[in-house]
Chain A
Amino acid sequence: MQGDTSFFNSLAIQWRVIRALLMREILTRYGRHNIGFFWLFVEPMLFCCGVVLIRKLFIHESARGLPVVEFVMTGYSSILLWRNCGSRCGLAISTNTSLLYHHNVRVIDLVASRIILEIAGCAIAFLVMTVLFVAIGLISPPEDLWLVMIGYILSAWIAASLGILIVGLSESSELFERLWHPAMYFMLPISGFGFMVDWLPVKIQKLALLVPMVNALEIMRQGFFGSKVRCHYELHGLIGFCLVATLVGLLLLNFFARRVEPE
């Protein structure tokens, strides 16, 4: 079983293990009761619908002439991605160390399965909501579907790299683990949820584009609104950030994986 360590064989084992972990996590989290697995995306969808509803009913002019539902939906979907990855990855290792007794299960698999699950849940929720809202005429279809997808994939990549980075950091330092949760709250207002970069004063625009989520969100909204808005984003910086964060996160994780101590 462990004799053949060729690349493709290792890849096959890794995929099998991640799949097993995914199913295990879904069952553990949502069980087989009522709608079971569907909670995976119904939960983020309810969150998002709630926020959309509140904004739609009470804060009419917040989007400066842009359709409120699309504006809030894109903003909140982006938040859900990095917030869920950020908050649920921290526990991925410490609660599952006993699984490491199974030789094929490695730290990277625990983290990967958690990230895949979070992103899949959010992405399905986003897709279902978009289709549903278009179908009932609440929103008009996105002008450029490709841009929406690219924006969403970049948002997901930010979330994934953030997730890996956070596991690595919080496992190496308890202090970081404590500080990260409040830090996430402070990131909410600067993540682009409530503004378009174009609305900001020029000086602040440059600062706003330093936040990776803002860039990806601008691309997503460009796809939705097309010509109705002027979007600003820095693609090189964004991809650079994702690459560096992913790499550093993986290095930290590798460092930590060699020191993990199951009970």
Chain B
Amino acid sequence: MITLSQVSKTYKVHGGRRTILDKLDLKVGRGEKIGILGRNGSGKSTLVRLISGAEFPTSGRISRAMSVSWPLAFAGGFQGSLTGYDNLRFICRVYNASIESALPFVEEFSELGRYLREPLKNYSSGMRARLAFALSMAVEFDCFLIDEVVAVGDQRFHEKCHEELFVKRRDRAMIIVSHQPHFIRAHCDRATVLLRGKLHPFDKVDDAFAFYTEHDDE
């Protein structure tokens, strides 16, 4: 279970403080798939950072009784001057995963071949994303954090990711943050809309979608 209770986040901006998230409550149980819909700038990414633990809330509490992934396919945590292999080793050490069992999977899944021996700075953005996705799958998490649509690589690779995440790991919890309703509709049991710093929860994804469209211009 991941629980957010009365979580607020304010940032210092020019001439004062700005409230991005205002006393949010959210519960995500094991295996639950929750969509968070929001426009650009509504605070989705801030919420992702809080849930992943990269940032602390200004007030309120976040408790995690299950392990949460880093934002899926996010490559920011990798060191550009290190090779794919060395980044894999780092991730495995941090999450206490076995390097021996992760290695063949990442080699096979990322399809990077000899590029795994090259520093990440020589990768294209697509290659980086492929490595990042493969690494996220190499560590076992109870809950996956998905920031925006997981559209990595070409169509075929895209399908592979889909299979690995939504089919093989359908028993895991997922928090999917997106501004694209159809993606959330396809994968979530329920959805909540992030609007002006508040969460508006809905039991049915369609109701959330209706509310989201209704407040299209805000």
Contacts and interface: CB of A to CB of B under 8 A. Distances in A.
A102 B74 contact: no
Given A1-B96, A23-B90, A261-B55, A101 B67 contact: no
Nearest to B80: A28
Given A2-B67, A101-B74, A28 B79 contact: yes
A262 B55 contact: yes
Interface centre among B64, B76, B82 (most CB of A within 10 A): B76
Contacts of B95: 1, 102, 104
A102 B139 CA distance: 12
A145 interface: no
Interface of chain B, helix or strand or loop or mixed? loop
Interface in A92-116: 97-105
Interface in B18-60: 49, 52-56
A51 to B, nearest CB: 30
A174 interface: no
Contacts of A27: 82, 86
Given A19-B93, A98-B77, A103 B67 contact: yes
A107 to B, nearest CB: 10
Contact of B52 (A16, A17, A101, A257): A101
A16 B93 contact: yes
B109 interface: no
A262 B86 contact: no
Interface of B: 11, 49, 52-56, 64-68, 70-71, 74, 76-77, 79, 81-82, 86, 89-91, 93-96, 142
Interface of A: 1-3, 13, 16-17, 19-20, 23-24, 27-28, 31, 97-105, 257-263
Given A101-B53, A103-B64, 9 more contacts: A2-B65, A2-B68, A23-B90, A27-B82, A101-B52, A101-B77, A103-B70, A104-B95, A257-B56
7 contacts: A1-B142, A17-B94, A19-B93, A103-B68, A104-B94, A105-B94, A262-B76
